[in-house]
Structure 1
């Protein structure tokens, strides 16, 4: 479309001062309103508000606007909002250009009014303006999807999601790696702040799972692989053998004759179990399981007493692992948490002194069904005085840096029960008390009323005296006094950490984890249970440490989002994928060899791309010798136009750097830098691309020709990094030397989300390097221009 036919509307957002306090939007407005083809230029305090949206709709209709530019916050927050605005106005939603001047400008270069931030914002908007000339309307396409849903994890989160979806008539596959569902909650006696019976809440839900005809329960199973795409995921499950068949009636005859005794994991090793066992009394399924490692030696049966005792013939030692293939439309990650290993806290004596225990061990001691039937004793000694150490490993840069969030209230629940029910003296040593939920502060008061002693201070050391009691040395941070107190028992409130299998599972499905190792949500406020992959949701402690209430809320939300995603039998795919320009393609098949998702085939001697198979990695584009493959909404023309825009008005002595960033993980990291107000040089211009695999020598040459003095390429997706970008950078850097451009003027880096701050360090160090080189000479830019135009 020719520029003279275009009618552009540009809308600037103040974001309630988040942008306008730093960037002079009035100055920008005065300039952009005079740009060619700009019909409307408006500035608004909150562009996302209903009145502002109506203003945009009105402008589109009355002024016949055919493309819209919004300069505001991150598209991760409001891209859908403004796409819907265009839909309401009757304009194709892909005629929208989104310019991020908050996370990538005002939050980076604020909080004071800044001339350089204003100049940078104008450049970014100019980039969007130039790119908008190349926008084209796109239409989504649909395919039939599966209405079955996979829930990974059988704790309270997974149980809640599965039941909710099952009751909505979805077929649900609930996969749990342990022999029974229930998770960590199954070990609890009561839950805070109301001190309800944990089993009274959980056990009926577990039983309901067993009865719900829409829930296919797969315990003692693990996910081996997940492939496919949103709406049509293919999942491979390994169901491990229990060696006990469904005919088992739980009569316990087999247990009575089993000679093997080992520590019981459910009781935190404080009781024993046999090699054939049921995990705990309320287990679902209630079928027993045989611990193969204890019963078999070199695949030879060591003992068959249980087999002889079973009159139902429910024991089968030859049962084999089973591979189950599932086809699901959505996935809910409810993988839960583990507790940090207290043995790593060497100064507290865990694993050295038998009366230094974890809070979960204390939980089992206070349980009426626990190893001591609710009598808090250790090695036969009655316990009269207990110390509970909060932040044992959390809020500590040497261990876990984040707050585990529930420990304060969990400790208070335990302390209250110990003091009120068993008349045990309890001292709680804390850093800060965090009682932020409904009824939490009240529980704090109740603890003080019954005589629980709170001391603000960090425990320095614990040692056992000659009376076999524990001396705790602590500095009171309120008074500055150092005290030493004697206790019968010390319990450590260690932090919640991601479940051990999460990292491996996330790598299988290319799911991004956060800096803390938990699943990274799409947006912490607007999409708190969506992962960065469409169709995959997360809930509960798979996202971060949470109490039962918040976990259940998450689980219900994830179930709701999954059901909305699959509400139709058809799944719509994003049209932003690679496409073939048929008249240029000669059917050489190089792209077929490159495509990691097998999305490209040859039909009638031309390459054809299956948009549902295509993952949008863009790796096929730069390797095509005929330049016959491009990417919708990130075409070569659009990227070049944006480069031309963000590199305008460059001063002679100015050094400017282009940072190509993949639009998924890498871009999220850039947003996080803004959210954390991490400052980096103002000469960085971020250009979002599908992935760094899209980049070829042509993109780099255009960037240098328009005025770039250095180019950074940042990739956050490991598969793209390993398969494409890392290898291609070497070849491109060699090619640049033919134009007299030093290899050191470009740099590629893999920056996954957990280490997003590395990008700021990279920006700083690379800027220092390019400043030493100085601006690229006009002669070299001329050589590049001649080569491009020849």
Structure 2
């Protein structure tokens, strides 16, 4: 720390002297510029990089500078670590460019734009999905005469091997600078076409996908002329965007190969075991004092009535005695920051609410699995059912406790109930007063409880009020039919309006309706079991805000894509398992936990993590440090540098949404390959 560094390459200036553009050495020992005036440093006229961090932000490759002024300009300013290409002085007034932005060099590093681009357009028929509505030959013909298009053709299936080969041959034969594929959604085959272009020598980030199937062909099936016109304009706009696409190289980020699992239920236990069995350490955090979650409260599991306690006990013992799993019970995650591969989490006992507890433990982790489970909707919210007021009205978990202990008794007097009524959808599927979602598991566990009750007390009678029976799964419908036909469980299709006490013997009377017969129904019972709605765990909302994980309208954690990315959250590196994402039964929970663990292992299998380079970047010459971009970023990727008074971007967190670019009053922020210039060019192409 006592060693003095020279400033601006001049050994006569000490570290204590002032300078307009001092050269500061950070902890990673790479110089960067400080101060409001940085004009003395060499700056690339295109990517605006100042040459101080060893790589060009546009391409993330080592940059060697091309000199555009007198040779005497360099020695006084350049540190010894910089390398320059020797070149004759260029005419005065020529702009300075780093080699990655220079017109000379490899073809894939050339500047695009205006009339220098050579773009290939490939229109896919997608069988009849597109060709039955859009005149694909006409689209290709219209693009052949469009400025900057060197080739336009159509093919039946562009995603097929012959279709990809057609793209590769065209890139090499016509020396293409960019490719536009008019086909299906980019979510389907963008990676396919980028890989094909890269194999032919074209930078994959100069490939654009025009979605003319989901956005044009399918919505306009009865309007072929309108669909064709719209397809032509859409492809033209993508051609304009491709003109200015920069050749990018994916970012490489280090990975901390330790996982954090939040939740000690069957989902968290399964995920922790599968990750640790692969040789990676795991930190398991459970809010309760014991592991097991909701499964520990169950008696037996449908369909085959396996003992829940025995199945769970083996998992708990395996976790507690695993050398790579560190378990924290009675604890919560109280602080969380970082990005995929490099998170930092603070774990505190009792959520840090006790002053006597020691300081929280801090862990560096590379991935997180959230398996916080679910709670039941409060009975007090259902006064018409006597919730919280009538002792003989209980919820499903309370009845599970009776079955687990073998003591099916009324809470009021301890007598054995001879008639029990189950009320399904209690608090769920009611968007006006309660929860709008279906809890999914109620139909099956009510059938299981009714079967177990009839087997335990053969002379008893069971009634089930239901709206619909949703038994989805192999053998599930047969299980419900068995309860109806073999054990004479009476199913009444209708909504229960109220539950009132009867004076004699503390019995209850359930008022409802049988929609199949169209008559009102009144059933007297000794005990009423409410299949309460499953709602998000009480602490999941705060955890979602802490980790910046999106939630759905019901409060459950939202997945990135319901079909293609069902176990991933929109925040990279954070995965979902179990009922934290939505109510689900034990088999589905275990399957999703295994899927989330597989995603973590896929991440840890990489030596370095590869991230998309199409992120936001800041022009330091325009940035005023106002900080407006920081609060608008939904991913926490923006922050102000503590002493440079400039906004910075965490490329690993950035998801290229562009919110910061919109908020910037100085236009200092742009998203790579989605600049203002590109957007305006696309709009102009659509309007002309």
TM-score (norm 2): 0.75
Of 143, 155, 158, which residue of structure 2 is paired with 1:32? 143
Does the residue aligned with 2:425 lie in a helix, a strand or coil?
coil
Cα displacement string for residues 59-87 of structure 1 (whole angstroms, at most 9, x for unaligned residues): 44455443222334443444334333333
Alignment of 1:126-525 (within 5 A): 126-240=236-350, 319-368=356-405, 373-378=406-411, 379-398=413-432, 399-423=434-458, 424-447=460-483, 448-467=485-504, 468-525=506-563
Q: Tell me, yes or no, if the aligned pair for 2:638 and 2:649 is still in contact at 8 Å.
A: no
Does the residue aligned with 1:99 lie in a helix, a strand or coil?
strand
| Residue matched to 2:234 | 124
Could you list the runs of 5+ residues in structure 1 that have no partner in the other structure?
Answer: 243-291, 293-298, 300-317, 649-790
Q: Tell me, yes or no, if the aligned pair for 1:21 and 1:112 is still in contact at 8 Å.
A: no
Instruction: Tell me the CA shift for residue 185 of structure 1.
Output: 0.8
Does the residue aligned with 1:493 lie in a helix, a strand or coil?
strand
Q: Does 1:640 align with 2:676?
A: no
Q: Distance in 1 between matches of 2:493 and 2:362?
A: 54
Structure 1 residues 187 and 614 mapped into 2: Cα distance closer, same or farther (>3 Å)? closer
Does the residue aligned with 1:322 lie in a helix, a strand or coil?
coil
Q: Distance in 2 between matches of 1:527 and 1:115?
A: 35
Instruction: Tell me the CA shift for residue 485 of structure 1.
Output: 1.7
Does the residue aligned with 2:360 lie in a helix, a strand or coil?
strand
Q: Tell me, yes or no, if the aligned pair for 2:501 and 2:508 is still in contact at 8 Å.
A: yes
Q: Distance in 2 between matches of 1:613 and 1:389?
A: 46
Q: Tell me, yes or no, if the aligned pair for 1:11 and 1:43 is still in contact at 8 Å.
A: yes
Q: Distance in 1 between matches of 2:530 and 2:584?
A: 18
Q: Tell me, yes or no, if the aligned pair for 1:7 and 1:65 is still in contact at 8 Å.
A: yes
Instruction: Tell me the CA shift for residue 103 of structure 1.
Output: 4.8
Cα displacement string for residues 211-261 of structure 1 (whole angstroms, at most 9, x for unaligned residues): 11111111111112221111111212222399xxxxxxxxxxxxxxxxxxx
Cα displacement string for residues 370-428 of structure 1 (whole angstroms, at most 9, x for unaligned residues): xxx43333322210111111122222222222221111111111111111232231112
Of 207, 215, 222, which residue of structure 2 is paired with 1:96? 207
Alignment of 1:730-741 (within 5 A): none
| Residue matched to 2:605 | 567
Q: Distance in 2 between matches of 1:496 and 1:165?
A: 28
Q: Distance in 2 between matches of 1:538 and 1:381?
A: 43
Cα displacement string for residues 486-514 of structure 1 (whole angstroms, at most 9, x for unaligned residues): 11111111221221222222122222222
Q: Distance in 1 between matches of 2:563 and 2:442?
A: 24
Instruction: Tell me the CA shift for residue 319 of structure 1.
Output: 4.5
Q: Which segment is superposed worse, 567-576 or 59-68?
A: 59-68
Cα displacement string for residues 654-677 of structure 1 (whole angstroms, at most 9, x for unaligned residues): xxxxxxxxxxxxxxxxxxxxxxxx
Which consecutive segments of 4 or more residues in structure 1 shift more than 6 A? 602-610, 622-626
Q: Tell me, yes or no, if the aligned pair for 2:220 and 2:226 is still in contact at 8 Å.
A: no
Alignment of 1:383-782 (within 5 A): 383-398=417-432, 399-423=434-458, 424-447=460-483, 448-467=485-504, 468-579=506-617, 585=621, 590=625, 611-612=651-652, 630-648=670-688
Q: Distance in 2 between matches of 1:543 and 1:426?
A: 32
Instruction: Tell me the CA shift for residue 617 of structure 1.
Output: 6.8
Structure 1 residues 74 and 636 mapped into 2: Cα distance closer, same or farther (>3 Å)? same
| Residue matched to 1:70 | 181
Does the residue aligned with 2:556 lie in a helix, a strand or coil?
coil
Instruction: Tell me the CA shift for residue 25 of structure 1.
Output: 4.3
Cα displacement string for residues 7-50 of structure 1 (whole angstroms, at most 9, x for unaligned residues): 32333445566555655545434423432343444445655455
| Residue matched to 1:754 | none
Q: Distance in 1 between matches of 2:316 and 2:157?
A: 47
Structure 1 residues 112 and 625 mapped into 2: Cα distance closer, same or farther (>3 Å)? closer
Structure 1 residues 433 and 619 mapped into 2: Cα distance closer, same or farther (>3 Å)? closer
TM-score (norm 1): 0.66
Q: Tell me, yes or no, if the aligned pair for 1:590 and 1:623 is still in contact at 8 Å.
A: no
Q: Distance in 2 between matches of 1:624 and 1:411?
A: 55
Structure 1 residues 23 and 508 mapped into 2: Cα distance closer, same or farther (>3 Å)? farther
| Residue matched to 1:259 | none
Structure 1 residues 420 and 65 mapped into 2: Cα distance closer, same or farther (>3 Å)? farther
Structure 1 residues 99 and 209 mapped into 2: Cα distance closer, same or farther (>3 Å)? same
Cα displacement string for residues 601-643 of structure 1 (whole angstroms, at most 9, x for unaligned residues): 6999999866457675767757888866543122232222222
Q: Tell me, yes or no, if the aligned pair for 1:76 and 1:523 is still in contact at 8 Å.
A: no
Q: Tell me, yes or no, if the aligned pair for 1:175 and 1:221 is still in contact at 8 Å.
A: yes
Instruction: Tell me the CA shift for residue 188 of structure 1.
Output: 0.3
| Residue matched to 1:719 | none
Q: Higher Cα Rg: structure 1 or 2?
A: 2
Does the residue aligned with 1:590 lie in a helix, a strand or coil?
coil
Does the residue aligned with 2:480 lie in a helix, a strand or coil?
helix
More helix per residue: 1
Could you list the runs of 5+ residues in structure 2 that have no partner in the other structure?
Answer: 1-111, 632-636
Q: Which segment is superposed worse, 605-614 or 342-351?
A: 605-614
Does the residue aligned with 1:338 lie in a helix, a strand or coil?
strand
Structure 1 residues 608 and 392 mapped into 2: Cα distance closer, same or farther (>3 Å)? closer
Q: Tell me, yes or no, if the aligned pair for 2:262 and 2:268 is still in contact at 8 Å.
A: yes
| Residue matched to 2:77 | none
Q: Tell me, yes or no, if the aligned pair for 2:625 and 2:645 is still in contact at 8 Å.
A: no
Cα displacement string for residues 139-186 of structure 1 (whole angstroms, at most 9, x for unaligned residues): 012232211111111111111101100111111111111111211111
Cα displacement string for residues 432-474 of structure 1 (whole angstroms, at most 9, x for unaligned residues): 2122212212212321212212222222222222222222222
